[in-house]
Amino acid sequence: MSETVITVSNVKRVYKTEVGMFKKTKKEVEALKGISFSIHKGEIFGLLGPNGAGKTTMIKLLTTMLIPDSGTISILGMDPVTQHMKVRPHINFILGGERNLYWRLSAYDNLAYFADLYKVPRQEQKNRILELLELVGLADVAHQRVETFSKGMKQRLQIARGLINRPYILFLDEPSIGLDPVSARKLRDILLKLNEQGTTILLTTHYMYEADELCDRIAFIDKGELITVDTPENMKRQTAGVSIIECKLTDVSASMIEELSRLPHVRHVKHEQDEIMTTVRLQTEMPQAVIPEIYKLVDEMSISDLAIMQPTLEDVYVQLVGGDAQ
Amino acid sequence: MMRALLHTVKVQMGLSIARPMFKFIIIVNPLFLATLAFFIYGSSSPERLFHYVVLGSGFMALWSSIVYSSASDVQRERFYGTLELLFVAPVSFAAILIGKIIGNMVWGLISMGIAFLYLALLFRIEVPAMQPLLFFGSLVFVLIAISVFSFFLSLAFTLSRQTNALMNFIEYPIYLVCGFLFPISILPDWVKPISYLLPPTWAIELLRKATEANATFSGVAMPLTALLALVLIYIVFGYFCYRAVENKARINGKLGVY
Amino acid sequence: MAALQRFFRHSVLSYKALFGWLEPKVYLFVMVLNPLSQLLFFAVLVNYVYGGEGLAGYIAANALLLCVMNSVFGMMSVITSDRGMGTLQLVMSTPSNKASLFISRSLAHVVNGAFTAVLGLAFGILLFGLSIPFDAFLSLFVIWLVSIFSACGLGLIIATFCLWSPSMHLWSNLLASLLLLLSGANYPLSVMPAWLEQLAVFIPLTRGVRLTKDIVNNGDYSQMTTLLSQELLLGCVFFIISLLLIVYAEYLARVKGTMDLE
């Protein structure tokens, strides 16, 4: 568990964009402001953060698709900037969504095509493709065109594509985006199975429970900066002694949320709204003191549920990245 | 009603020309067609040059603009998923379509004008003396006839799943069968009946007759009558297509799906 | 040997994946009927205008011009279609050799273009009852392959433009029109103004069309070696330029971060 396969030290990346045709104004966006971390062999490592935090930039840097402005990266002891052609055979990456496949080809042909691009010897190709289709549960539709597949099937085919060169390290950018719960479950099972077989995995995700279930370690990044790296267990321990009061409210205004967050002993408030009600989560060390205050503030009739629970990874995330600031 | 129509015309003209491909069709394509026709006919008599190079390439430009606007609009709206939105708008679908077609006709006319100016200025093709009333009267009538025909095509395409394939196929065969760049008398006899059933054949014939040296009203009577009859027939066809489209949309609910 | 097999396999699979006109009905319309109607139109036209003079040469030259469908629109798909599907960045980050990758992708279009052209010629011969000496066919076929290769090279250059410019339809149609106009398939080159004739020298197919006419009409092979090697050289230059442009695009994406291959 101690062998390091990826080392990132003090990596910075700025995007320069020119706006306007004639009066060119140069705009610089600091996507990464100096990030360092390392990933061990056989780990599942999660990269979490809000949109625009720099997750995709990080994945691009690690997969040789982009070069850092400063800082160094080492992948399997190689430099992806200068030795990208040597690195590429040993890694692969998968992007979320339905694209990034040839829809007019069959599942089998998609894999055969990329097998050739990764120079997999012909005699190995057939067995490996069948094996991978079996792994992702697409063996019976191997010769159907991808355009007839559901989202989940396409996503699983992407996984198979990403494994065609038996990579030591697999990168996944938002792999479960847009998947229904059953498909997302299948995807997680595949990733866990792969990890058992020894593949190191780095993934980005928006879904906290996914990260909690899958990842050995997690890095939170926000606005191009690394906030923390640790195991999910340790992270949750940071909130030791903290409880979560979750209440479901049928009628709530922005100002009321504001007032709730100003109650004594409340550390953070996060709210989520669906069609019927608003779920408000308050972090506090003294739930018994806070609950009566809630009843004073909010009309009793509009509280449809109220419970005290243990913090989840999401609450840690809220505490670190900031509450309702999205 | 009138305002909705004018508004559609304006919007349509703006939308069309915003597409780079349409800019190409309206501005660059006529130059290309005119050059091609001029190089081929280079050493012919002035009248032949005018009839086949100026009118011919101008008409080809007009036709291309129709193929890439009216006829393909339906396909595009379907692609963007806006076809059904148009269909359920309170203004009738027909009014929207007519508005679109008028908008496209204006662009087609501009395209024709570009071909003409280019040939007259750059290649110094002589414009024969003609009676303005006869020529412009014919031109207006021709534009109306072509509008009706493209209205029919647009609706017929709405009914087909293979719009794209059909669209690709509609350019050269029409150039060929309707005699844009040569008289249809040189075509094999079995093709001619097809030519006679297509309005563009008579439209270009009408323009040629109207620009002949001693053009008279009786000279243009034949193509004019034929064109008028065809326009009426295509209006009837168009009406039935329209009803079929409406059925498909409202009863089968299948307009946007495929 | 394995590399060669991979090269051809790649050629076939990428054609299927990116061009997608293999559906029988669509293929029939787009790749057979449409080119044939174009050929027929120009054949009837030049037959009328020139009173049948040099008709065989014009028809053969027009048949060659049918390859524009592949060498322009097909070659565009090699890059634009890949990008549209979001697979270009995946392909670019594989350890495969990019030059051989794009050349193998082009190969399918050279072959398909040649097929369409041959089909067009057969159609023209049957319809207009032309007689072309049998020994001319082999030379014609070689000339056509080289000319189409060269046209595909220019097609690939224009396709790489689409990594920078969003107006792919504009570029492809412009190129298609230019090839039809400047190659001189439907008139002697001498009718063009001198400056256009000068420009035509740098355009693929011009030499192919000229050789086709020379051979079919006069059995004249005297220019073949010179013009054919020039056309081949032109094609190689086009391919080198386009591969350099691809490398530059990759540099912009990787180092500068100013281009998104997705």
Q: With 80 as the cut, is the pLDDT of residue B168 above it? A: no
Choose the closest CB to A67 out of C9, C20, C254. Answer: C254
> Does the pLDDT at position C259 exceed 80?
no
How far does the CA of residue A312 sit from the closest CA of chain C (Å)?
35
* Residues A15 and A99 reside in one and the same domain: yes
Examine the pLDDT at B83 and tell me if it is beyond 70.
no
pLDDT in tens, C89-110: 889 889 888 889 999 999 999 9
In chain C, domain spans: 22-256
Structural domains counted in chain A: 2
Question: Which CATH number fits the domain that encloses residue A267?
Answer: 3.30.70.120
Instruction: Please indicate whether, in this complex, the C-beta atoms of A13 and C257 are within 8 angstroms of each other.
Output: yes
Higher pLDDT, A182 or B94: A182
User: Is A192 domain-assigned?
Assistant: yes
Asked whether residue A323 is assigned to any structural domain, the reply reads: no
Closest chain A residue to C250, measured at CA: A65
Q: How far is B182 from chain C (nearest CA, A)?
A: 7
Q: Tell if the CB–CB gap between B40 and C46 is shorter than 8 Å.
A: yes
For B217-232, letters b (16+ CB in 10 Å) and e give eeebeebbebbeebbe
Tell me the nearest-neighbour CA distance from C166 into chain B, angstroms: 9
Closest CA to A201 of A4, A39, A44, A41: A44
Question: pLDDT over 90 for what percent of chain A?
Answer: 32
Region of poorest pLDDT, from A70-84, B62-76, B129-143, B188-202: B62-76
Chain B residue with the nearest C-alpha to that of C169: B21
Chain B touching partners, 3 or more CB pairs below 8 A: C
- The pLDDT of residue B64: 85
Q: What is the pLDDT of residues A108-126, one digit of tens each?
A: 999 999 999 998 998 899 9
* Touching partners of C (3+ C-beta pairs < 8 Å): A, B
Distance CA A225, CA A32 (A): 6
Q: How far is B138 from chain C (nearest CA, A)?
A: 26
Domain assignment of residue A278, yes or no: yes
Answer yes or no: is A162 within a domain.
yes
Domain-embedded: residue A321: no
**Are A270 and A217 in a shared domain?**
no
| Angstrom distance (rounded) from CA A159 to CA A96 | 10
Instruction: Looking at the structure, tell me whether residues A12 and A134 fall in a common domain.
Output: yes
Distance from C-alpha of C152 to C-alpha of C242, rounded to nearest angstrom: 10
Instruction: Show residues of chain C in contact with A64, CB under 8 Å.
Output: 93, 254
- Residue A35 β-bridge partners: A11
Cβ contacts from A onto C, under 8 A: 83
C188 CB within 8 Å of a chain A CB: no
Q: A176 in a domain, yes or no?
A: yes
Contacting residues of A for C20, CB less than 8 Å apart:
104
pLDDT exceeds 90 at position C40 = yes
How many B/C residue pairs have CB atoms within 8 Å? 77
- Name residue, tokens 């065969």: B173
Same-domain status, A225 and A275: no
Do chain A and B touch: 3 or more Cβ pairs under 8 angstroms?
Answer: no
Which region among A45-54, A276-285, B76-85, C124-133 has the lowest average model confidence (pLDDT)?
B76-85
Q: Mind listing the pLDDT tens digit for each residue in C156-191?
A: 999 999 888 877 888 888 999 999 999 989 998 888
A60 and A133 share one domain: yes
Cα angle value B8/B13/B14 (rounded, 5°): 100
Pairing of strands A44-48, A200-205: parallel
Domain that holds residue A247: 240-310
Nearest to B165 among C29, C169, C177 (CB): C29
A206/A283 same-domain check: no
Q: Which of residues 162-191 of B touch C (CB under 8 A)?
A: 162, 164-166, 168-169, 172-173, 175-176, 181-183, 186-187
In this structure, what CATH number is given to the domain that contains residue A35? 3.40.50.300
The answer to whether A95 and A178 have CB atoms below 8 angstroms apart is no
- Residue A1, pLDDT above cutoff 60: no
Asked if A71 and A175 sit in the same domain, the reply is yes
Residues A123 and A9 in one domain: yes
Spell A275-295 as b/e; 16+ CB within 10 A means b.
Answer: eebbebbbbbeebeebbebbe
Buried b (16+ CB within 10 A) or exposed e, A222-261: bebebeebeebeebbeebeebbbbebbbeebeeebbeebb
CA distance C31 to chain A (A): 18
Place of tokens 């009558």: B225
Tens of pLDDT, residues C140-156: 999 999 999 999 999 99
- Indicate the residue type of B196: Y
CA distances from B106 to A250, B9, B126, C118 (A): 57, 9, 25, 41
Task: Considering only residues B241 and C199, tell me which one the structure prediction assigns the higher pLDDT.
Answer: C199
Which of A236, A261, A293 is a domain's end point?
Answer: A236
Residues A246 and A190 in one domain: no
Q: What totals of helices (H) and strands (E) does chain B contain, helices first?
A: 14, 0
Q: Is residue A320 part of a domain?
A: no
Q: What is the pLDDT of residues A126-144, one digit of tens each?
A: 999 999 999 999 999 999 9
The minimum CA-CA distance between A130 and chain C, rounded to whole Å, is 18
Interface check C97 vs A, CB under 8 A: no
Say which of C47, C174, C191 has its CB closest to residue B42.
Answer: C191
Report the largest interatomic distance among the alpha carbons of chain C, rounded to a whole angstrom. Answer: 61
Q: Which two tokens stand for residue C5?
A: 């097999």
Together in a domain, A150 and A194: yes
Cα distances (angstroms) measured from residue A93 to each of A61, A96, A173, B16, C164: 12, 10, 8, 40, 25
In a domain, A104, yes or no: yes
Q: Is the pLDDT of residue A164 over 90?
A: yes
pLDDT of B37 reads 93
Beta bridge partners of A71: none
pLDDT at B256 over 60: no
Contacts of B24 in chain C (CB under 8 A): 169-170, 173-174
CA angle C43, B55, B40 (to 5 degrees): 35
Whether residue C180 lies within 8 A of chain B, CB to CB, comes out as yes
**A193-202: per-residue pLDDT in tens?**
999 999 999 9
Of the residues A15, A59, A65, the best mutation for testing chain C's interface (the one with the most C CB atoms within 10 Å of its CB) is A65
Highest mean pLDDT among B125-129, B153-157, C69-73: C69-73
Alpha-carbon distance B73 to nearest alpha carbon in chain C (angstroms): 16
For residues A244 and A211, membership in a common domain is answered with: no
Closest Cβ opposite residue B172 in set C37, C48, C191 = C37
Longest dimension (CA), chain B: 59
Cβ neighbours of C256 in A, within 8 Å = 16
Closest alpha carbon within chain C to B185: C48
Dump pLDDT digits (tens) for B34-73.
999 999 998 788 888 898 999 999 999 988 887 777 666 7
Q: Quote the percentage of chain A above a pLDDT of 70.
A: 95
C93–A93 CB contact, under 8 Å? yes
Q: Which of C170, C186, C192 sits opposite B24 (nearest CB)?
A: C170
**CA separation for the pair A190, A198 (Å, rounded):** 13
Mutant choice from B163, B175, B194 vs C, greatest count of C C-beta within 10 A: B175
Write the residue in A88, A95, A102 that is nearest to C94 by C-beta: A88
Name which of C92, C95, C256 is nearest A118 (Cβ-Cβ): C95
Any C CB within 8 A of B161 CB = no
